[in-house]
Chains A and B, each alone.
Chain A
Amino acid sequence: MTFFEGIQQFFTALFKFMPKFLPGVGNTLLLSVLSILLGTVIGLFAVMLRLSKKKPLVMISNFYITIIRGTPLLLQLYFIFFGLPDMGIMIDRFPSAVLGLAIHSGAYISEIFRGSIESIDYGQREAAKALGMTNFQAMKRIILPQAFKRSVPALGNQFIISIKDSSLASVITITETILLARQFAAATFNVFPIYTLAGAYYLLITLGLSKVLNKVELRLKVNER
């Protein structure tokens, strides 16, 4: 096979498989969006426990973060999908994947939130309290809106990691981009174009997300000089 023929074959395969990937890409997107949203909620919850200054709650939060950050995501997914049924807890494939990814990213997101919440000038909390706000009101009205803005760059990072991490869901047989790529490659041996395509789709998704995050950041900057 000459080099020219190789190129030709590459593009033929590329166009052939491009549409075939769409269901997988759809699943990757769905998995990412759901796990990011749920992960953010979990992260917010974990950081509230952490900052509650109540010892048992702080310990729960620390325990969660230590375990999740200290073990591989792959193991966590195995644990939820293959391990928990042993304990009589059966969760379907897709919810297992979403849950696993969300619990995983939640630990990192809670630390991102903690960093940005603790970076807010203490005077802000004092001013809120001096107005007669409760801790909850001060957090909701004054601290979190400012902290959220500061967390956007790091949060964006974590979201992009989450998108790529969703590929691990293939091990519990979720038909997402990577699983499809492996199946197509095994069936046709057209490895090079198929993996190129898979990579291109991931790049497309992460680039799109970066664009959105840039917009969000710009919009949040209206109150700066």
Chain B
Amino acid sequence: MIQIRNLHKYFGELEVLKGVDVNIEEGEVVCIIGASGSGKSTLLRCLNFLETKDKGEIYVDGKLIEKKCRQDVIDLRKKVGMVFQRFNLFPHMTVIQNVMEGPITVRKMPKEEAQELAMELLAKVGLEDKKDQYPAMLSGGQQQRVAIARTLAMQPKVVLFDEPTSALDPELVGEVLTVMKELAKEGMTMAVVTHEMGFAKEVSDRVIFLHEGVITEEGTPEDIFEHPKNERLQGFLSKILV
């Protein structure tokens, strides 16, 4: 479904991604792990062109996407949803308006239909009763669940999660992960940058370990967590799994 070939990304002089190749198949849950600064988030952000890649190709459904072709990028973003670390809900809109915004503005869905869809999705993330509240009145975990509902409202084929639980208080992480597990079970294609090794172990089909802009090891969760071959990965895991 998504193929990345030889992706390079520089921030000034610094080469953040040094030729990354990734395939994401339909229905697959791929977790991307690695130390901070390893380029995980950048990889994800390049994927829906929030960052502009410097070299390499990105194919979605077999189609090569280039930034120059704006309509292609917009079409890609309709297919590829994104959930952010800092939620980025629209503070001037209520919860339900946040969820309806994409369908109405981008998909030109009639309002009643969008409302129905939004209620359905809010029920799915367990927040129907908050529909008329503003984001500032919700807890972090609730905000992130709304953000997931907002992304799903675009009916994407893939959802990218950029450290979705890193900005949350520890006791709120669980509710977000539960929603994500639910999604994975339904067969949603997901790419997740995470520090939640428990989640990566339990839910993902494949784990990618990124180190200094290179994919250093890749495999099933079992391979990665039980039998890590690479020294860097071993070091990383020993620091995280104390």
Contacts and interface: CB of A to CB of B under 8 A. Distances in A.
Interface string B75-106: 10110011010101111111000000110011
A224 B94 CA distance: 11
Interface residues of A, number: 22
A127 B84 contact: yes
Q: Chain B: interface residue count, which band?
A: 20 to 34
Contacts of B150: 131
A54 to B, nearest CB: 15
B101 A146 contact: no
Among B75, B90, B93, the most chain A Cβ lie within 10 Å of the Cβ of: B90
Interface of A: 121, 123-124, 126-134, 137, 141-142, 145-146, 149, 222-225
A137 B136 contact: no
A123 B88 contact: yes
B154 interface: yes
B77 A129 contact: yes
Given A128-B90, A129-B77, 6 more contacts: A127-B89, A130-B50, A130-B82, A131-B102, A133-B74, A146-B92
Contacts of A127: 84, 88-90, 147
Interface string B143-172: 000010011001000000000000000000
Contacts of B106: 131-133, 137
B48 A225 contact: no
Nearest to A146: B92
B134 interface: yes
Contacts of A121: 88
B91 A132 contact: no
B81 A130 contact: yes
Interface of B: 48, 50, 70, 74-75, 77-78, 81-82, 84, 86, 88-94, 101-102, 105-106, 134-137, 147, 150-151, 154
Interface residues of A, dominant DSSP? helix
Nearest to A135: B70
Nearest to B81: A130
Nearest to B102: A131
Contacts of B81: 130-131
A129 B74 CA distance: 8
Nearest to A224: B136
Contact of B101 (A134, A141, A225): A141
Contact of A126 (B75, B84, B134, B135): B84
Contacts of A129: 50, 77
